[in-house]
Amino acid sequence: MDLTEQVENELCQTGIEELDVMLGGGVPTGSTVLVVGSSGSGKTTLCMQYLINGARRGERGVFFTITEPLFKLTKNMEGFDFYDKQLIESGMVNLIDLRIISERLGLDTEKYTVEDAAALLDVLKDIADELNVKRLVIDSITALCYRLQTKEMIRDFIFKLGSSLAAMKCTTFLTSEVPPRVFQYSQYGIEEFIADGIIFLGDVERKGDLIRTFQVIKLRGQAHSRTKLAMSISSRNGVELAPLLKSRE
């Protein structure tokens, strides 16, 4: 195996160029990365771009949504040039609404018992195995946990999810919703502990403008930059990163 091949097998390239550079090539294959941000910070867009970029490299992906119905998700994503309907139709990127899965399992879609959550987790795992996916997204872990009734149930579920994901071979991005302008990684304070990596999408106010920021907080097993970058979202390029401080000319 030559070096390039080895890097390709061991690292999962996000396809977001500046991020892969920051990470020294990509995310270690098989890791779980928490994508943290407040409402509108770009979590869904970043995760979809990660899956589409993977599909273009021949890596099958699955996107489990629980926050947005599929028609809304696809409508939003169709506004981006990177989004390719054909990759969805060909099954290279699979979009699955967890609420529909819950309904099919005969579960209450808004409230889960411990057994419901375990059943859902099993189905999620079966789907990932059956499709042989290399990339998995759950959008969001916050909304999933919100359906559990007690802190203990949430804690138990998060740890079960963590061990299921760790046993899978795919590289996972989980989104985590946090309040705006607060530096915390999760709603329940434990989601970050099952994550190998944390990406924080924030913003800074500058002259009345809100600038999107992007920072890799941690990534187990990988030396990486922790520099805060400016992030932009455009129809043409989706999520893009650039240095926050423009270098002096």
Interactions with ligand ATP, residue window 89-118 (CB under 6 A)? none
CB of 233 to ligand ATP, least distance (A): 4
Asked if 144 and 187 count as a contact pair (C-beta separation under 8 A), the reply is no
Q: How many CB atoms lie within 10 A of CB 91?
A: 11
What Cα–Cα distance (Å) separates residue 191 from each residue in 38, 152, 157, 161, 188?
15, 13, 10, 10, 7
**Taking CB under 6 A as the rule, does residue 79 contact ligand ATP?**
yes
The residue to which tokens 């949430």 are assigned:
154
- Check the CA dihedral 129-130-132-135 and report its sign: negative
What is d(CA 239, CA 249) in angstroms, rounded to the nearest whole number? 26
Which of 13, 31, 32, 44 lies at the binding interface for ligand ATP (CB under 6 A)?
A: 44
Stretch that binds Mg ion, among 19-27, 37-45, 55-63, 214-222 (CB under 5 A): 37-45
Give which of Mg ion, ligand ATP, none residue 40 binds (C-beta under 5 to 8 Å, depending on kind): ligand ATP
| Binding pattern for the stretch 59-78 against ligand ATP, x by CB under 6 A and - elsewhere | --------x--------x--
Q: How many CB atoms lie within 10 A of CB 128?
A: 24
CB of 53 to ligand ATP, least distance (A): 15
Give which of Mg ion, ligand ATP, none residue 42 binds (C-beta under 5 to 8 Å, depending on kind): ligand ATP
**Taking CB under 5 A as the rule, does residue 142 contact Mg ion?**
no
What is d(CA 51, CA 14) in angstroms, rounded to the nearest whole number? 8
What Cα–Cα distance (Å) separates residue 165 from each residue in 168, 173, 209?
5, 10, 39
What is d(CA 73, CA 94) in angstroms, rounded to the nearest whole number? 12
Stretch that binds ligand ATP, among 19-27, 103-111, 156-164, 233-241 (CB under 6 A): 233-241
**Taking CB under 6 A as the rule, does residue 237 contact ligand ATP?**
no
**Taking CB under 5 A as the rule, does residue 44 contact Mg ion?**
yes
The residue to which tokens 């819950």 are assigned:
102
Which of 21, 235, 242, 243 lies at the binding interface for ligand ATP (CB under 6 A)?
A: 235
Q: Which is nearer to ligand ATP, 116 or 240 (CB)?
A: 240
Q: By CB under 6 A, name the binding residues for ligand ATP.
A: 37, 39-45, 67, 76, 79-80, 177, 233-235
Q: By CB under 5 A, name the binding residues for Mg ion.
A: 44
